[in-house]
Amino acid sequence: MLPLIFLTSLKLTDFRNYAHAALSFDGRHVVLTGDNGSGKTNLLEAVSFLSPGRGLRRAAYGQVVRKEASAGFTVFTELEGMEGGVAIGTGTDGAEGAARKVRINGTQAASGDELLDHARVIWLTPAMDGLFTGSASDRRRFVDRMVLSIDPAHGRRVADFERAMRSRNRLLSERRMEPAWLSGLEAQMASLGVAMALARRELVSLLAALIAETAGGSPFPIPEINLSGFFADHAEAPSIDLEDRYRALLEEERYRDAGAGRTLDGPHRSDLDVRHAAKQMEAALCSTGEQKALLIGLVLAHAELTRRISGYPPIMLFDEVAAHLDAGRRKALFERIDDIGGQAFMTGTDRALFDALGDRGQFFNVTAGSIVGEADQ
């Protein structure tokens, strides 16, 4: 039997428009309805802080703190997680530029990566609607978040690579061509960069295979996905050879990169290519509705892959997703979420959009920072 992963409580202090908020959950999916601007997405953002990083909005922590607050914000959750029941607290102390701290069962975590021992959280928000027409950096970030759910070490690799690249860029911009320093940084970039590229490649390969396997009855258009850029034409080469090639390339291109003011080759230049399989059309050229449906199918496939690889279903956050779907696809979405097995948090302005969910959902109405469960109305 599939293990259940779900929040049992969520408490907020000075988070966005909430001075204080407390919610209890019973393991069912959670539906938050209310007018635009009432604070529904803020609650999803709070749950997204159960994962490393800056949450589903990628906001600076100072922006998360309620404007009238005198200190920082706190998010406290109780969770039936991958290692059993756990209490997780996170937040900031309000100091300018303060990092987010995480406490697990009352003990300070060494880093946010420890959150991945307890839950995997994935999300789909309206801000992601432009993924296929937006920048390559947005798509790389999307891929890296997907990788993180099946390979928790990936986030640290990406951060370490970017740190080494910034150091190299700084040396080159200052025309400090010390071979020993540059060679050391380039060796680090080669090792980390190739590991990043291989992890992304594995994720895309696994995801493509799963999409092909489950394509038959999907109500959403089937995406074809592929990685382009950094060593895409050398997919079968041994990693040690790729590291040697990349290290040699970095050394060879030092003066070119110095002139450009940045490193021009590497995994930070990769891109995710997505096509509408049935139409054989680039996703960027599809209609807005088709792009939304492709993205939903991709996120659901990733949720299923996360369950298969980790052995646990993820917590899924869907912000305003139902409004873009007809009744048939809404019903199919809810059934697909049930099949994956994780607890989903969903928002919408209209309660009727979730009628097909029936008693599988726990419903709350959000009004200007006030949250009332249907059972309490």
Q: Are 39 and 88 in contact (CB under 8 A)?
A: no
Those residues with Cβ within 8 angstroms of residue 153's Cβ, 6 or more apart along the chain or in another chain = none
State residue 376's pLDDT score. Answer: 57
Q: What angle do CA 105, 29, 32 make, to 5 degrees?
A: 95
Within 142-229, strands assigned E span 223-228
* Fold designation for 134-287: Glutathione S-transferase Yfyf (Class Pi); Chain A, domain 2 (1.20.1050)
Q: Count Cα atoms within 13 angstroms, Cβ side, for 119.
A: 30
Determine the pLDDT at residue 182: 96
CB 28 within 8 A of CB 334: no
The Cα 99–Cα 107 span in angstroms is 17
Q: Using DSSP, state whether 328 is helix, strand or coil.
A: helix
Place domain 1-120+312-377 in its CATH homologous superfamily.
P-loop containing nucleotide triphosphate hydrolases (3.40.50.300)
pLDDT attached to residue 375: 62
Name the segment(s) of the chain with CATH classification 1.20.1050.90.
134-287
pLDDT digits (tens, 9 = 90+) for 86-117: 999 999 987 776 789 999 999 999 999 999 99
Side-chain-side CA neighbours of residue 159 (13 Å): 12
**pTM for the complete prediction?**
0.94
27: phi > 0 → left, psi -120 to 50 → alpha, else beta; which?
left
pLDDT digits (tens, 9 = 90+) for 177-204: 889 999 999 999 999 999 999 999 999 9
- Give the pLDDT score at 373: 81
**Whether the predicted pLDDT of 323 surpasses 90:** no
